[in-house]
Structure 1
Amino acid sequence: MRRYSWLPWFALDIVLVIVFAASGRASHEDTASVLGTLNVAWPFLVALVIGTVLTKPWKTINEVWPWGLLVWLITVLFGMALRVLTGGGFALAFLFVTLGILGLFLLGRRAVAGLLIRNRVKLRG
């Protein structure tokens, strides 16, 4: 993998976290404002950066096990902690929804990317 080829995948992870925040706001009939969405998303975005850096993305960005799992859990748990520490509130239902949606997004994205990359390698080989 080239040195910076992980950056588009990381950008997609960022987009997926923002989509998670926007869809959550929409499901609660909040107004669709960029600042409101970023207010919900920022703790999870910070946690995503931490999780991504800790897992050496230039080597592991599309691996589901164990690195994708680690990024997902760090994103959810640190993101939730940041949210609570900054007055965002906590609800157990929100934790479960966050685990599910971000799991689907972050792990699902890695599973699909891994399949596409492996199939492309097989086709070339």
Structure 2
Amino acid sequence: MRIPWWSTLGIDVVCVLAFAAAGRSSHAEENTPGALVGTAWPFLVGLAVGWAVLAVVARRRDAGGQGPTTWARPVAIGVPLVVITWSVAMVLRATTDQGLSGAFPAVALGVLAALLVGWRCVAVLVSGAARPRSAGRGHGTPAPGG
């Protein structure tokens, strides 16, 4: 499935903003644009770093003749993106006194994984369901002599 990189990036940004908004709402904090950005910025910076790292890897991969990168791949793109985004955000939160108390780091990792990997899984499933089935072997037709 091919989704333009800029659409994939946009979906990732929306996921991070939704995560920040949900977190603020769950703590009964206001969700004004300024407050939302104040909560989201470490994760947005982490997302930008993740995208930059993965873009360098993709450029090397593409230059090596391995074909263009599909940015909607759940494991090859989504998982490293979650790890980088989360790691950078935790460092930024710790160094700017935004806090890492209690279960927050684990919850943040779980929610980011669910969102950033989850939408990619859904996209792959939807694109697979939309792909026409071949009438050949491997799709319910037995092999000759089988």
TM-score range, shorter chain: 0.7 to 0.9
Paired residue type of 2:70: T
**Percent identity between the aligned chains?**
35
1:60 alignment counterpart? 70
Equivalent pairs counted in the alignment come to: 123
Query: Within the alignment, does 1:95 sit opposite 2:105 as a pair?
Result: yes
> Can you list the C-alpha shifts for 1:20-56, whole angstroms capped at 9, x where unaligned?
0011011111112111111110010011111122123
Unaligned runs of 5+ in 1: none
Bigger Cα displacement from structure 2, 47-56 vs 69-78: 47-56
Q: Which residue of 2 aligns with 1:11?
A: 10
> Quick one: which of 59, 69, 77 aligns to 2:79?
69
Q: Distance in 2 between matches of 1:99 and 1:89?
A: 15
User: Relative to total residues, which structure has the larger helix share, 1 or 2?
Assistant: 1
Q: Once the 2 structures are TM-superposed, how far is the Cα of residue 124 of structure 1 from its aligned partner?
A: 8.7
CA distance in structure 2 between the aligned counterparts of 1:43 and 1:62, rounded to whole angstroms:
23
**Residues 73-122 of structure 1: CA distance to partner in whole angstroms, max 9, x if unpaired?**
111111111111122111141101101111110010111112223344x3
Q: 2:75·2:117 contact (CA, 8 Å) conserved in 1? A: no
The CA distance in 2 between the partners of 1:7 and 1:61, in whole Å, is: 9
* TM-score (structure 1 length as normaliser): 0.87
Please identify, of 48-57 and 100-109, the stretch whose mean Cα deviation from structure 2 is larger: 48-57
Secondary structure class of the residue paired with 1:30: coil
Distance 1:43 1:63 in 2: 24
The answer on 1:123 being equivalent to 2:132 is: yes
Structure with larger Rg: 2
Query: Where in structure 2 are there 5+ consecutive unaligned residues?
Result: 59-67, 135-146
Pairwise CA RMSD: 2.1
Q: Return structure 1 stretches of 4+ with deviation > 4 angstroms.
A: none
Q: Tell me, in whole angstroms, the C-alpha distance in 2 between the residues paired with 1:10 and 1:114.
A: 16
